[in-house]
Chain A
Amino acid sequence: MQLVGFPVVAGIVLLAFVANAKKSAHEKLNNPIRMASFAFSLVLFGYTTAMFFNSFANITTDGVAFNNYTFHDSYEWFPALGIHWTVGLDALSFPMVWLTTFLLPVTIIATWHEKNGATYFPTLLLMGGALIGVFVSLDLFMFYVFWELTLIPMFFLILNWGGKDRKYASQKFFIYTFTASVVMLLGLVTLYLMQPDQIGTGGKYGTMTGRTFDIPTLVESATLANQDGWFMGESMQKVLFVMLMLGFLVKLPAVPFHTWLPDAHVQAPTGGSMLLAGVMLKMGAYGMFRLPLSMFPHALQHFQLALMIFGMVSLVWGAIVCLGQTNLKKMVAYSSVSHMGVILIGIATMQPMGWAAALFMMFAHGIISPMLFAVCGAFKHHYHSMEIGAMRGMAKHSPWLATSMMFAWMASLGLPLLAGFVAELMMLIALWYFIDLEGWSVLWMIGPALVLALTAAYYLWSMQRTIFEGGDETQPPATLHGDPVPDITNEEKIAMLILAAFTILFGVMPWIGLDMMDDYCRTFFEHMISNGIFKGGA
């Protein structure tokens, strides 16, 4: 259906752009390519928005039921191995697809004036195409293919347009995430081959292997098998769960697998960072929901404590490290680690509300963190420095940048009526409820409570040092060498305004996105409970 056109058209047209741009790397091409990329991303954005209003805005609970997909379609690719490019959207993937298409034009606007050459914008679009591919693919093989494909444009984004240590950062990024995902690949292959051999069935089953890569089919048979026992057997389910989770935890990233993230972020260009933080990190959480949580609920229950610890450690460690950062971008990168901890905790509560909080956190962080990175990028772009303490009292010189920074920082620390608050509040409620229900120690609340304070501390402190302190004696960054201090450009202002507007929109009216996420999680749990997989709960 039309949906498949998305990544395909994206891929092909963008590739054509890149090839075009490569032949004549003239300055002249820069503007038309930028305009074309922008127009194309706007079309994509319009398309997904229309999809939202036509299908997802008024969707009923049935429509987003667990393992039910809209725009479900399938294309045969490698019949010998049972590989079909099955696509489909549900309340889990649609917000992510929309987010990707939303961020693409915003990213292009925010980096409108960066002198990156003609290949930069098409690379961003390619990145978007690969990301959409991850979210729409309902086939293990295609999911993995797109999962790895996202690495290549991001590798080049960092390597080509990154900072001083870009070589180190891009290679570390690639190798780190690749290592985790090959382990995940082995898990996927083992999962694939552990299915009973149905050779000769045809259809979704390979003509050579007799197994299928189709996720809906797998989830269905997993749910059936999980009703009275463990899908794939107890120890096998645990091992597969760990192998898959390893790939996703590194991507997320959770402490202690997070060390690639600050390097990648600090060195990446602004556009790369915006997409990396906005969407790419969410691939990890998305993958968790799509595969291990759907297929291995028993293993999830088994590893609940471990996940909770991973989440808590990420949350707290990320926040503590933030306090010590002198580089704005590094601080924001670690704050991402901290926020990803929220997602993990939400998942570990195994409550519908916790999961909905995780889903909404994925979405809200996907809007807020690009703004954080856009602000950092503006600092880098205009002041050639992102050191906290290299400048003071910037609010006087550049009110727009200071306001954007303040807004983004506030949104990220969870100010009520902004999108991040909703997710954090839900997570806290879910955690309380869970602790109460399962009789865990109240001490588990210390982490989130501590982090609420820490987050406020590092954000406010960095703001104070950068834009407020100094009174009348402001200190422009030394890297400007006494030149007049510029404010951000009009394009950057537009990008900030758009991001801010959506942050407010989803903070004031979270139900636009939250409704379907909530329905999804509820039906997920109803499904599991009615099948006797979970004991019961809220």
Chain B
Amino acid sequence: MSETQAFSNEFYSALLPEMLLFAGLIALILIPNLGKGTFRIPGTQLRLPWFLGGQRFGLTSNPRLPAWIATITLAGAFAAVLDSLNGGVESLLVVSSDSDAAKELLMVNGFSRVFELIFFGALALASFASMNRLKVEGTGGKLTEDQLFNNRRQADFYILMLTCGLGMSVVALAQDLFVLFIGLELASFSTYVLVAFMKESKTGSEAGMKYFIVGSVASGVGLYGLSMLYLWSGSLQFDALALAFAETGTEPLPLIGIGFVLVGFGFKVSAAPFHFAAPDAYAGASSPVAGVLATASKAMGMVGLIRMLLIVAAPESSDGSAVWLVAIGALAALTMTWGNIAALGSTNPKRMLAYSSVAHAGYMLAGLTAIGAWTWDPSFAGQEGEAALLVMTALMFHLLVLVAFKLGAFLVLSILENDGDSSRLSSLGGLAKREPLLAFAMFIFMISLAGVPPMAGFLSKLMVIMGIVNVGVGSGINSFGDLHWVWWLALLMVLNSAISVFYYLRVAVVMFFEAPEKGREGPLPSGWQVRASIFICVAATILLGVFGDSVLEMCRDAAESLTTKW
């Protein structure tokens, strides 16, 4: 592991994806404003062209331009991350530049890289697909003021997409709780606005408001917890916190502080009982944005949970399991069951997907619980992290492939939204007749969500189960009664998967065997960008399920870069 100061050359080259995003952000602000603007030298009639403002050029007035800039930037950042992942990542620690008391700020390693991959991949697909979701009111000729405004706000949407990505990657990189929190808020505020962006629909602003209020309460509680942690240890560095926790972690103050911080992250991953805003937000937001909430934003929350639970309040390696074990285990059980049962009853496909995303959060929390329990079997001693490695790999792989099929499902809904709305199950009716390939894609996404082989969702869920069972059975255990209780979480998880099949299959049945709603028999709205995104999602869902080995290895390496901390 090498070390560098902030704003050194190494810093820039290691943070190339973020720098790309930053450049894209500036381009997004500047380029749509380029025009025939002039600048009159005061006191003269001399007008110097200064290209900012005024009547826009043909290219820069194109309302599609921001979308392209954002998509290319995000895809470029994705490619940069992929490139650096290729052949292993050298860990690089970024420290602050004051030489006497250098603080650890960011850490570039396999772990953060894989999460960047998740964030940028999801955002790139979402912004590419949003080209068809956000209406553009004509490009040439005379436009009314409303139409002009509508075209102008395209840039705002994609600027928010980029800031969201920037904030998320800061969360993945952060080595300091405060840096992490800044990234979290940057991403959160972007998503609050993105959720409310659909001002044409009433539900959009309502959803945005709800999401904002609940989200800021959660953030506020988290921040309060943060301040308690600072009060207790005098530092917000993960390393310092972890050290302090090993000494006095069982005192009430740090425990309450960590509990409050967990509320903030629990909201992000939409773990029950902090999930109440999620279904409303997902249902009100435009579908690509809802897809981002369900994938990238959830992954961001998971990073926070992993940092807090596994790095700061790390499981003790010699005696006993993590202090939070029972609490998170109960939360996992509650979350997956609640999510699935609520999804059973929801007839709005987007709410259904929101609840299914709650259930998936429960599966991932179960995985985290297993990591917290891995020290229960004394035979694991000496190979710290061995058992946790499998779960960690599974979690990262799950978050990665979730982008393919969860976002894909939302993108299919986004086409239907353009067609009218997608707030009833029946709006999916007859999809197989209206556009067979789309119905096929949705079917693939649904069975992948349900965990039917050979889709990626099966492999990732299997990996999580395997991780949990691996910890649960320990080694050399011969009696069923001696198994650790996390094994029962695995049982609950498979039973929940079985419940979930019901509502996923219902979607398939409606698509294939029910007539379209009245007036919606015709072909679906066109738009090749969203279809291309869906195609990428389908291909990833199938290919990662069948040939996922190299990606699995990648996640393993990434998980190793985290677990070697222990």
Residue in contact with A80 in the complex, picked from B477, B497, B505, B556, CB distance below 8 Å: B556
Whether A233 is near chain B, meaning CB under 8 Å from some CB there, is yes
A160 touches B553 (CB 8 A): no
A78 touches B452 (CB 8 A): no
A159 to chain B, nearest CB (A): 6
* Chain B, range 441-488, C-beta contacts under 8 Å to A: 447, 451-454, 458, 462-463, 465-466, 469-470, 472-473, 475-481, 487
Whether B390 is near chain A, meaning CB under 8 Å from some CB there, is yes
Residue of A nearest to B546 (CB): A77
Residues of B within 8 A of A197 (CB): 475
B63 to chain A, nearest CB (A): 35
Q: Is the interface of B mostly helix, strand, loop or mixed?
A: helix
Whether B490 is near chain A, meaning CB under 8 Å from some CB there, is yes
Given contact pairs A78-B549, A190-B469, A185 touches B475 in the complex (Cβ within 8 A): no
A334 to chain B, nearest CB (A): 25
The interface stretch among A42-50, A176-184, A290-298, A511-519 is: A176-184
A186 touches B478 (CB 8 A): no
A192 touches B466 (CB 8 A): yes
Instruction: Give the distance in Å from the alpha carbon of A194 to the alpha carbon of B469 in the complex.
Output: 9
Instruction: Give the distance in Å from the alpha carbon of A335 to the alpha carbon of B487 in the complex.
Output: 39
B475 touches A189 (CB 8 A): no
A208 touches B469 (CB 8 A): no
Whether A124 is near chain B, meaning CB under 8 Å from some CB there, is no
B480 touches A236 (CB 8 A): yes
Whether A59 is near chain B, meaning CB under 8 Å from some CB there, is no
Residue of B nearest to A235 (CB): B480
B447 touches A152 (CB 8 A): yes
A159 touches B479 (CB 8 A): no
A193 touches B473 (CB 8 A): yes
Residues of B within 8 A of A186 (CB): 465, 469, 490-491, 494
The interface stretch among A87-95, A97-105, A142-150, A309-317 is: A142-150
B42 to chain A, nearest CB (A): 68
A148 touches B501 (CB 8 A): no
Whether B414 is near chain A, meaning CB under 8 Å from some CB there, is no
B505 touches A174 (CB 8 A): yes
Residues of A within 8 A of B487 (CB): 190
B466 touches A209 (CB 8 A): yes
A274 to chain B, nearest CB (A): 23
Whether B393 is near chain A, meaning CB under 8 Å from some CB there, is yes
Please, what's the 1-or-0 string for A486-516, where 1 marks a CB less than 8 Å from any CB in chain B? 0000000000000000000000000000000
Whether B512 is near chain A, meaning CB under 8 Å from some CB there, is yes
Residue of A nearest to B497 (CB): A182
Whether A280 is near chain B, meaning CB under 8 Å from some CB there, is no
A201 to chain B, nearest CB (A): 15
Instruction: Give the distance in Å from the alpha carbon of A151 to the alpha carbon of B505 in the complex.
Output: 12
* Chain A, range 120-160, C-beta contacts under 8 Å to B: 144-145, 148-149, 151-152, 155, 159-160
B226 to chain A, nearest CB (A): 36
A43 to chain B, nearest CB (A): 25
Given contact pairs A190-B469, A193-B473, A234 touches B453 in the complex (Cβ within 8 A): no
Whether A79 is near chain B, meaning CB under 8 Å from some CB there, is yes
Whether A239 is near chain B, meaning CB under 8 Å from some CB there, is yes
Residues of B within 8 A of A239 (CB): 480
Given contact pairs A190-B473, A193-B466, A208-B556, A233 touches B495 in the complex (Cβ within 8 A): no
Residues of B within 8 A of A179 (CB): 495, 498, 501
Whether A171 is near chain B, meaning CB under 8 Å from some CB there, is yes
Whether B436 is near chain A, meaning CB under 8 Å from some CB there, is yes
A235 touches B466 (CB 8 A): no
Given contact pairs A209-B470, A236-B477, A189 touches B465 in the complex (Cβ within 8 A): yes
B470 touches A159 (CB 8 A): no
B417 to chain A, nearest CB (A): 26
Please, what's the 1-or-0 string for B491-513, where 1 marks a CB less than 8 Å from any CB in chain A? 10011011001100110010011
Whether A175 is near chain B, meaning CB under 8 Å from some CB there, is yes
Instruction: Give the distance in Å from the alpha carbon of A22 to the alpha carbon of B512 in the complex.
Output: 13
B498 touches A196 (CB 8 A): no
Given contact pairs A78-B552, A80-B552, A185 touches B494 in the complex (Cβ within 8 A): yes
Please, what's the 1-or-0 string for A229-271, where 1 marks a CB less than 8 Å from any CB in chain B? 0101111101100000000000000000000000000000000
A160 touches B512 (CB 8 A): yes
How many chain A residues touch the partner (CB < 8 A)? 43
Given contact pairs A80-B549, A193-B466, A151 touches B479 in the complex (Cβ within 8 A): no
Residue in contact with A148 in the complex, picked from B453, B466, B505, CB distance below 8 Å: B453
Instruction: Give the distance in Å from the alpha carbon of A151 to the alpha carbon of B498 in the complex.
Output: 14
A270 to chain B, nearest CB (A): 20
B480 touches A167 (CB 8 A): no
Instruction: Give the distance in Å from the alpha carbon of A306 to the alpha carbon of B479 in the complex.
Output: 22
A242 to chain B, nearest CB (A): 10
Given contact pairs A160-B512, A193-B473, A144 touches B453 in the complex (Cβ within 8 A): yes
Whether B37 is near chain A, meaning CB under 8 Å from some CB there, is no
Given contact pairs A182-B498, A234-B479, A189 touches B462 in the complex (Cβ within 8 A): yes
Residue of B nearest to A77 (CB): B549
A232 touches B494 (CB 8 A): no
Instruction: Give the distance in Å from the alpha carbon of A189 to the alpha carbon of B497 in the complex.
Output: 15
Residue in contact with B478 in the complex, picked from A80, A160, A174, A232, CB distance below 8 Å: A232
Please, what's the 1-or-0 string for A272-303, where 1 marks a CB less than 8 Å from any CB in chain B? 00000000000000000000000000000000
Instruction: Give the distance in Å from the alpha carbon of A186 to the alpha carbon of B480 in the complex.
Output: 14
B362 to chain A, nearest CB (A): 15
Whether B220 is near chain A, meaning CB under 8 Å from some CB there, is no
Residues of B within 8 A of A152 (CB): 447, 452
Whether B548 is near chain A, meaning CB under 8 Å from some CB there, is yes
Residues of A within 8 A of B466 (CB): 81, 189, 192-193, 209
B509 touches A167 (CB 8 A): yes
Instruction: Give the distance in Å from the alpha carbon of A144 to the alpha carbon of B470 in the complex.
Output: 19
A194 touches B501 (CB 8 A): no
Instruction: Give the distance in Å from the alpha carbon of A239 to the alpha carbon of B488 in the complex.
Output: 13
Instruction: Give the distance in Å from the alpha carbon of A81 to the alpha carbon of B459 in the complex.
Output: 11
Residue in contact with B390 in the complex, picked from A159, A174, A178, A209, CB distance below 8 Å: A209
Instruction: Give the distance in Å from the alpha carbon of A208 to the alpha carbon of B549 in the complex.
Output: 11
B445 to chain A, nearest CB (A): 14
Please, what's the 1-or-0 string for B210-235, where 1 marks a CB less than 8 Å from any CB in chain A? 00000000000000000000000000
Please, what's the 1-or-0 string for B533-556, where 1 marks a CB less than 8 Å from any CB in chain A? 000000000000000110011001
A233 touches B390 (CB 8 A): no
B494 touches A167 (CB 8 A): no
Given contact pairs A171-B502, A232-B478, A149 touches B390 in the complex (Cβ within 8 A): no
Residues of A within 8 A of B476 (CB): 196
B512 touches A189 (CB 8 A): no
Residues of A within 8 A of B473 (CB): 190, 193-194
B390 touches A236 (CB 8 A): no
Residue of A nearest to B453 (CB): A145
Residue of A nearest to B487 (CB): A190
Residues of B within 8 A of A185 (CB): 462, 465, 494
A151 touches B452 (CB 8 A): yes
B509 touches A159 (CB 8 A): yes
Instruction: Give the distance in Å from the alpha carbon of A22 to the alpha carbon of B440 in the complex.
Output: 11
Residue of A nearest to B447 (CB): A152
B452 touches A148 (CB 8 A): yes
B555 to chain A, nearest CB (A): 10
Report B's interface with A, CB cutoff 8 A.
389-390, 393, 436, 447, 451-454, 458, 462-463, 465-466, 469-470, 472-473, 475-481, 487, 490-491, 494-495, 497-498, 501-502, 505-506, 509, 512-513, 548-549, 552-553, 556
Q: List 15 A-B contacts (CB under 8 A).
A: A78-B548, A145-B458, A148-B452, A152-B447, A159-B509, A159-B512, A174-B501, A179-B498, A190-B469, A193-B466, A193-B473, A194-B473, A208-B389, A209-B466, A230-B478
Given contacts A190-B472, A235-B480, 20 further A-B contacts (CB under 8 A): A77-B549, A78-B548, A81-B552, A151-B452, A160-B513, A175-B502, A179-B495, A183-B491, A183-B494, A185-B494, A189-B490, A190-B469, A193-B470, A196-B475, A209-B466, A230-B478, A233-B477, A235-B478, A235-B479, A235-B481
9 closest A-B pairs (Cβ-Cβ)? A233-B478, A179-B498, A235-B480, A182-B494, A145-B453, A239-B480, A186-B494, A193-B470, A235-B479
